[in-house]
Amino acid sequence: MTDAHNPFTGRTLRVLRPAQDQATYCGCSRAEIGAAQAQWDDAERIRIEELSRLTMLEREVQAEEPASKALENRLRVAFLSTRGNTMAMWVTQRDAILAGGDVPD
């Protein structure tokens, strides 16, 4: 069974894990309840993995580029988009540009 065919995908927070004492499953065999529980467990595992992945990505984005780094990237792109400026020039003039001082000729 694929995740697309799992009836619990995206619903484990709203739907209790299947059990014999629930009205929906009272007439089901142990095998049927076991299969439904396995599907619910798979859906919950996927939900937790996706939540963990999203949390990790958010941490990486926040830690990756603080505002000062974003500003430096914008200034570097603007500097390099000017005709005649090279990466070597950026490296030698970077500190003066970021400090807001005059750029040496």
Q: Are residues 95 and 73 in the same domain?
A: yes
Co-location of 33 and 60 in the same domain: yes
Residue 69 carries which side chain, given as an amino acid letter?
A: K
**84 is in which domain, residue-wise?**
66-105
* Residue 84 and residue 71 share a domain: yes
2 and 30 fall within a common domain: yes
Q: Would you write out the chain's pLDDT as a tens digit for each of its 105 residues?
A: 556 789 999 889 999 999 999 998 988 999 999 999 999 999 999 999 999 888 888 777 665 556 677 888 888 898 888 888 888 898 888 888 777 755 555
Burial level of 93, CB count in 10 A (0-12/13-18/19+)? middle
The rounded distance, in Å, linking the Cα atoms of 71 and 78 is 11
Do 51 and 80 fall within a single domain?
no
Residue 26 and residue 58 in one domain? yes
Q: What distance, in Å, lies between the first and last C-alpha atoms of the chain?
A: 67
pLDDT at 39: 95
Residues 54 and 74 in one domain: no
Rounded to two decimals, what is the model's pTM? 0.53
The number of domains in the chain is 2
Q: What is the pLDDT of residue 100?
A: 73
Contacts 24+ apart (CB under 8 A), 83-87: none
